[in-house]
Chain A
Amino acid sequence: MLKHTENIIEVKNLVKKFGNFVANDNLSFEVKKGEIFGFLGANGAGKTTSIKILSGLSFPTSGDVMVAGFDVYKEREKVKKNIGYMSQKFSLYEDLTVRENIRFYGGIYGLSGKYIKEKTESLIERLKMKDIQDSLIKSLPLGWKQKIAFSVAIFHNPKIVFLDEPTGGVDPITRRDFWEMIYEASDSGITVFVTTHYMDEAEYCDRVSIMDQGRIEGLDTPAELKKQFHAKNMDEVFLKIAR
């Protein structure tokens, strides 16, 4: 895994407070270009807070955050051009069809009509969505919705895509499918930043950071982490960290 050398995300001493509550307590880490970076932690550990800061949806209280070479403080709109984002809260329009959703988001990113058309065709082809391309999103099963939401998030070829618990609530097979898509995106050069609380998914990441109560308690490749914590699998690592 030595191919990743250039930093695409740099976080130094990031703090985010809500009143007295410290959601992110002095985080510092880097994400290398092209890697799949896992952000693990129990619910409420502060994952969503940091992903929102990284994607420019929320201001940090203090600290330096650079994403894709831009400061999230001063150059938020430039950051946004270079990232994709898929939230755990559902983000497609339920009353639009698959095609309409893709066209809308493509348009918002300023892609040309021709490009949107071509890419939509190939996407529909690749995901085998011919039958459902004109169905309303609300009529589709959750697994499909997640796949489409992910495709929409990377439709404009961002440098980085942020996935906030992308596989919540679906069965293991669908999750496996979803990870195939993540790998594909990664192969095409997109850096993937993914939060999850499924420990088996951690194994799929190049590097993993484990958060607990707003702090990063461990950060390395899954293999190194297991070694470090003398654990058979990531589950054990996690349990040891969270106690």
Chain B
Amino acid sequence: MKKILYILQKEFIQVFRNKTMLPLIFGMPILQLLVLVNAATLEMKSIDMYVVDKDLSSLSHKLINKFEGSPFYHVSGVSFSIDEANEAIEKNQADFIMHIPYGFERSLMRENSTQVQLLIDGINGTAASLINAYSSSVINSFNRNIIVDLTKMPQIKELNPIAVETSYWYNPELNYKIYMLPGILVILVTVISMFLAAMNIVREKEIGTIEQLNVTPIKKFEFIIGKLVPFLIIALFEMAFGLLIGKLLFDVPMVGSLGLLFGFTVVYLLVVLGIGLFISTISSTQQQVMFISFFFMLVFILMSGIFTPTESMPLWAQKVNIINPFYYFMRVIRMILLKGSGFWDISREFFSLLIYAIIILSLAVWRHRKVA
């Protein structure tokens, strides 16, 4: 066991001596956290609308005012020509066009119903459906006011026989930041620890020092543990640091037990580092390691449920997620931090990862060759 301590000592000296890597390992993730958490939002804060008002009636003015009064909307252009409006969409100067046709007010008065056209740039499907939902609800509420005005009767109730009230638990203001921070933290911690571990052994292969280690009587498991523990410790630090930032700067709630979270993190990191070490035992150059880890990381992150529901994925994809470590942690970190889930709530994920860790680490030890 003492041999392992010597490896640990050496790895730490090397990490802390590397003046280029050190800021990258500790500084970059923090910067990333600050930037990305703010960037990753699907909340619509500003929607550029282009208005084509061919009616020029008091009703159409009121409708436009209603939109202008909302903090979400910004009128980026006004014109009589639908072609000009379309051009604005093509040039990405507007997100949607509100086209109020000639006779808008008249037909509401005479025919009891009228139409307004919303032409939405559909390239970004998510944004488009949000714009649709927001704008329709603005028009709806405008409609309701009009009805009250015209009929002079407050019959709002009847217009709305089933009152639906929505409450959002654990994040009532739907704050994207406290939702994204845990997810991004998971990615950062994983990326760093996995790459460091995976690159480490293969780097020793490339510069030739591995040969000198291989002629020593060191046991394979001692070697793997010696390579694993330093990165485990670094990753835990990274995690703690990230959580601290979350708490101080983003006010992320931490409802559950931090002890449980770190306990789970350790098991998770064993899996991640195990994968990293396994990759490095089967590769001979750092380039290969990067390619392989990069490929799996990208696939795994996208499928992890960081911002899309995993249960809506096709069944086979859900099966693939069984070997996706991100998938487990993405769930669990949010469960513990935001909902305060306890050990029994996350026990399935915990034991799955534990088994996973045992398998992948055994594979890494088994695949590690002391002989060329």
Known interface pairs A57-B372, A80-B217. Does A107 touch B208 (Cβ–Cβ under 8 Å)?
A: no
* Distance of A56 Cα from B209 Cα, bound (Å): 16
- Chain B residues, CB < 8 A from A52: 372
> Which of A21-29, A86-94, A196-204 lies at the interface with chain B?
A86-94
Chain B, Cβ-Cβ closest to A88? B208
* Min CB–CB distance A46 → chain B (angstroms): 15
On whether the beta carbons of A87 and B14 are closer than 8 Å, the reply is: no
Does A96 count as interface, using CB distance less than 8 angstroms? yes
Q: A83-B215, A95-B14 given. 7 additional CB < 8 A pairs?
A: A84-B215, A91-B209, A91-B211, A96-B13, A104-B10, A107-B7, A108-B3
- Chain A residues, CB < 8 A from B2: 107, 110
Does B218 count as interface, using CB distance less than 8 angstroms? yes
- Chain B residues, CB < 8 A from A91: 208-209, 211-212
Does B6 count as interface, using CB distance less than 8 angstroms? yes
CB within 8 Å of A: which B1-43 residues: 2-3, 5-7, 9-10, 13-14, 17-18
- Chain A residues, CB < 8 A from B218: 108
On whether the beta carbons of B208 and A108 are closer than 8 Å, the reply is: no
On whether the beta carbons of A81 and B13 are closer than 8 Å, the reply is: no
Does A115 count as interface, using CB distance less than 8 angstroms? no
**Complex interface bits, B202-237 against A, C-beta within 8 A gives 1, otherwise 0:** 000001110111111111000000000000000000
A interface with B by C-beta (< 8 Å): 52, 55-59, 76-78, 80-81, 83-85, 87, 89-96, 100, 103-110
* Distance of A222 Cα from B336 Cα, bound (Å): 75
- Chain B residues, CB < 8 A from A93: 10, 14, 209
On whether the beta carbons of B371 and A107 are closer than 8 Å, the reply is: no
- Chain A residues, CB < 8 A from B7: 104, 107-108
- Chain A residues, CB < 8 A from B5: 107
* Min CB–CB distance A48 → chain B (angstroms): 11
- Chain B residues, CB < 8 A from A110: 2-3, 217
On whether the beta carbons of B371 and A108 are closer than 8 Å, the reply is: no
- Chain B residues, CB < 8 A from A76: 370-371
Complex A-B: 14 CB contacts under 8 Å: A59-B371, A77-B219, A78-B217, A80-B215, A89-B211, A92-B212, A94-B207, A103-B6, A103-B9, A104-B10, A107-B3, A107-B7, A108-B3, A110-B3
* Min CB–CB distance A116 → chain B (angstroms): 9
Known interface pairs A58-B372, A95-B14, A96-B13. Does A105 touch B3 (Cβ–Cβ under 8 Å)?
A: no
Known interface pairs A96-B14, A107-B5. Does A57 touch B214 (Cβ–Cβ under 8 Å)?
A: yes
On whether the beta carbons of B10 and A80 are closer than 8 Å, the reply is: no
* Min CB–CB distance B286 → chain A (angstroms): 16
B interface with A by C-beta (< 8 Å): 2-3, 5-7, 9-10, 13-14, 17-18, 207-209, 211-219, 370-372
Q: From B10, B13, B371, give the contact of A56 (CB < 8 A).
A: B371
On whether the beta carbons of B216 and A109 are closer than 8 Å, the reply is: yes
* Distance of A59 Cα from B18 Cα, bound (Å): 36
- Looking at chain B's contact residues, the main secondary structure is helix
On whether the beta carbons of A85 and B215 are closer than 8 Å, the reply is: yes
* Distance of A91 Cα from B371 Cα, bound (Å): 16
* Distance of A90 Cα from B17 Cα, bound (Å): 20
* Distance of A92 Cα from B213 Cα, bound (Å): 10
Chain B, Cβ-Cβ closest to A158? B215
- Chain B residues, CB < 8 A from A87: 208, 211-212
* Distance of A107 Cα from B8 Cα, bound (Å): 11
On whether the beta carbons of A104 and B211 are closer than 8 Å, the reply is: no
- Chain A residues, CB < 8 A from B10: 93, 96, 100, 104
Interface centre among A52, A93, A108, A109 (most CB of B within 10 A): A108
* Distance of A93 Cα from B219 Cα, bound (Å): 20
* Distance of A3 Cα from B159 Cα, bound (Å): 112
* Distance of A116 Cα from B17 Cα, bound (Å): 23
Q: From A57, A105, A107, give the contact of B211 (CB < 8 A).
A: A57
* Distance of A195 Cα from B215 Cα, bound (Å): 17
Q: From A77, A85, A107, give the contact of B6 (CB < 8 A).
A: A107
On whether the beta carbons of B213 and A108 are closer than 8 Å, the reply is: yes
* Distance of A109 Cα from B207 Cα, bound (Å): 21
- Chain B residues, CB < 8 A from A96: 10, 13-14, 17
* Min CB–CB distance A44 → chain B (angstroms): 17
Query: Which 9 A-B pairs have CB atoms at the shortest separation, nearest pair first?
Result: A107-B6, A89-B208, A91-B212, A85-B215, A80-B217, A81-B217, A104-B10, A108-B216, A55-B215
* Distance of A76 Cα from B211 Cα, bound (Å): 14
- Chain B residues, CB < 8 A from A106: 6
- Chain A residues, CB < 8 A from B214: 56-57
* Distance of A58 Cα from B372 Cα, bound (Å): 5
* Distance of A94 Cα from B203 Cα, bound (Å): 13
* Distance of A103 Cα from B219 Cα, bound (Å): 18
On whether the beta carbons of A57 and B371 are closer than 8 Å, the reply is: yes
On whether the beta carbons of A104 and B9 are closer than 8 Å, the reply is: yes
Q: From B6, B217, B370, give the contact of A104 (CB < 8 A).
A: B6
- Chain B residues, CB < 8 A from A108: 3, 6-7, 213, 216, 218
Known interface pairs A56-B371, A91-B211. Does A100 touch B216 (Cβ–Cβ under 8 Å)?
A: no
* Min CB–CB distance B124 → chain A (angstroms): 48
Chain A, Cβ-Cβ closest to B11? A104
* Distance of A52 Cα from B209 Cα, bound (Å): 14
- Chain A residues, CB < 8 A from B207: 90, 94
On whether the beta carbons of B17 and A56 are closer than 8 Å, the reply is: no
- Chain A residues, CB < 8 A from B209: 90-93
- Chain A residues, CB < 8 A from B370: 56-57, 76
* Distance of A168 Cα from B372 Cα, bound (Å): 23
* Distance of A78 Cα from B372 Cα, bound (Å): 18
